[in-house]
Amino acid sequence: MKLKAIDISRTASASSIIFDVLRKAIIEGEIAENSPLRQDEIATLFNTSRIPVREAISRLEEQGLVKTQRYKGAIVAGLSAPEAAEVFDLRALLEPEILRNAVPRMSRDCLAEARAHCQAFSDSDSPMEWGDLNRVFHKTLYSASDLKFFIEVADNAMDRVERYVRAQLVISDGMERAGIEHFAILEACEMGDGDRASLLLRDHILGAKRSLLDHFPALTSRQDG
């Protein structure tokens, strides 16, 4: 298992630490789908008992990142193409509304930070960075919104498809297109045009959905190893 051992035996929030580490490893594709999450092995890595491991895995299961199978225990959950499409459709409903709500509330500092992230994404030639840079750009734009529950649901939806998006950016022309679309969304935000920014974001998400589905067989084969 591709996890760095951490001694959390003296930490009160052991389950939260384990949850955060496993979640990051899953959404970044470090642990492939259908990989088993063996409680004893994870407990040893973190120098803790199985109790916080079990709690962390239960939280991951609630978020749809892990599933429990009879005789196999907990494994990393994968997505079928229809399931991935549904996640993107949900994002296309939620995230434009979040952005429309956020635009009138964006400060100069927020817009400057978003532009810095947008430029970093466009300039990066490291596939290892693309997923994080893409996500932090979107999250910075949404941060001004007061739709906290919408953001929470959208964030969870992004967790479900993050590892596929990262792979899709590598094997398609997604990086160049995404960078152009990011700048267009940002410019609409800077102009204070929430409606235009919202429409551009919806098109951006649905375009990513189409590209991901076009490449889905190759993406799932990469996930399998």
User: What residues contact residue 204 under an 8 Å CB cut-off, 6+ apart?
Assistant: 178, 181, 182, 185
Domains of the chain, start order: 14-76 (1.10.10.10), 81-223 (1.20.120.530)
Identify which has the larger pLDDT, 185 or 219.
185
Give the lowest-confidence range in 131-135, 178-182, 197-201: 131-135
- Rounded CA-CA distance 50/54 in Å is 6
99-103, 132-136, 220-224, range with the lowest pLDDT: 220-224
Would the CA dihedral through 67, 70, 74, 76 be positive or negative?
negative
pLDDT digits (tens, 9 = 90+) for 82-127: 999 999 999 999 999 999 999 999 999 999 999 999 999 999 887 7
* Per-residue buried b or exposed e for 140-176, using 16+ beta carbons within 10 Å of the residue's own CB: bbbbbbebeebbebbbebbbbbbbbbbbbbbebebbe
Asked if 31 and 25 touch (Cβ cutoff 8 Å), the reply is yes
